Structures are given as C-alpha cells and as structure tokens.
Amino acid sequence: MEMIRLFLAVPVPKKIKEELAREQEKVKNSLSDWKINWVAPENFHITLIFLGWVENEKVKTLKGDIAGAQKNLPDFEISTGSLTFEERPIWLEIKKGTEKLQKLQEILGKELSIKGSYLEKRASHPHLTIGRVKNKGKSKLPKIKKSFTWKADKIVLYQSKLRRSGSVYTELVSFPLGKTDNF
C-alpha cells in the first residue's frame, strides 16, 4: 500500500511570494553566520493541518471530507507581522487573520476527526515559515518592516515529498472559501 505525506494549508499568492522572497534575501544577508535551510519561495504557505502519511487509496475520501467541512466557510484577509525565531523555525507572525485561521483549523480538524481522517491534536499558532535553523549564529534577527496582506480565498491539500534539497510540495486539490460569514 502506497502512502503519501499530506497537509492542508492556505496558499500565498504568487505576487506576495515574490515580495516575500526579496525580504527573505535581506534576512539571509543579515544572518550570514547562521546555518539555515531556507524555504523555497514557491513553498511559502500557512499550514492549517498536517495530516501526515495517508494511504493513497484514502485520498479520494479525504478530499470529500475536506470539501464537506469547508463548503460554507468565508474568505478573509491575512496580514503578516514581525519576524520570529523559536527553537528551529524562522517565521512571520500573522497579525491579521489569526483568529480566522485558528477557527478554520478547528472546523477542519473537528470534521476530519469525526470522519477518522485526522487525529493529531497540537496547539495551533498560525505563521509563515521562511527558514529552519540548523545552527544559530551571533547576528541578531533583523526586523521586517513590511507587512504582506492578501485574501485567503481557498485552502489547498498538498502532497509533500521530502528531498535532500528540501521539500517539494504538489497541489493535489484546492477548495474555494465562500462569501458567507459563518465565522
């Protein structure tokens, strides 16, 4: 039985990824004495739920469960905040949309738990990872003065393939968020 590694996330639009990549480059230059595995800009996202290894034949059912859980959820605005480093990841805080992201995680997590597709329960702290620290240097974490804002109008089921060069994410299916106000 073939297993694939999956997660649900809010994607970052291409234009924002490009702007974020420029800021990420500035952070790289400021932290040149740190050893960091940088997230490739095409992989920027906000994880909602890490589903882990799932049997390939269960993916179709999983897609249906996700579609049922999200069908009446509204779109909303996300804005990033300050750059943060804690243990390994370097991430951008979410300053606008945190409550909505947490509610989305809660609704999806509850529905997928009921359907038996998701069992992991860990505290959620919505953020956008830009790198993972292997060894911390002496340089101070720089400030990112710019805030990035976009409309979260869909969630995506991604497949994650682990490679030596870094993870490769493939969009399997996207689920549009509606225009209702059920939050």
Q: Does residue 183 belong to any structural domain of this protein?
A: no
Q: Does residue 170 belong to any structural domain of this protein?
A: yes
What is the per-residue DSSP string for 103-153? HHHHHHHHHHHHTTS---------EEEEEEEEE--SSPPPP-----EEEE-
Q: With 90 as the cut, is the pLDDT of residue 129 above it?
A: yes
CATH number at residue 134: 3.90.1140.10
- Domain of 67, in residue numbers: 3-176
Number of domains comprising the chain: 1
From the candidates 6, 24, 27, 45, which is the catalytic residue?
45
Q: Does residue 181 belong to any structural domain of this protein?
A: no
Q: Does residue 145 belong to any structural domain of this protein?
A: yes
From the candidates 109, 127, 156, 158, which is the catalytic residue?
127
Q: Does residue 182 belong to any structural domain of this protein?
A: no
- H or E segment and range at residue 98: helix 98-114
Average pLDDT score over residue span 159-181: 84
Q: Does residue 165 belong to any structural domain of this protein?
A: yes
From 158, 174, 169, select the one nearest 70 (Cα to Cα).
Answer: 174
pLDDT at 181: 52
Evaluate whether 91 touches 129 at the Cβ level (below 8 Å). yes
Say which residue, 117 or 175, is predicted with more confidence: 175
Q: Is 125 a catalytic residue?
A: no
For the chain, percent of residues with pLDDT exceeding 90: 60
pLDDT single digits (tens) 19-72: 999 999 999 999 999 999 999 999 999 999 988 899 888 888 888 888 877 777
Q: Does residue 14 belong to any structural domain of this protein?
A: yes
Its pTM stands at 0.88
pLDDT at 120: 59
Q: Does residue 111 belong to any structural domain of this protein?
A: yes
**What is the C-alpha to C-alpha distance for residues 73 and 45, in angstroms, rounded to an integer?**
19
Taking the C-alpha atoms of 55, 60, 61 and 66 in order, what is their torsion angle to the nearest 10 degrees? 110
User: Mean pLDDT in the chain?
Assistant: 88
pLDDT single digits (tens) 88-122: 899 999 999 999 999 888 888 888 876 566 555 55
pLDDT at 114: 67
Min mean pLDDT across 8-22, 104-118, 166-180 is at 104-118
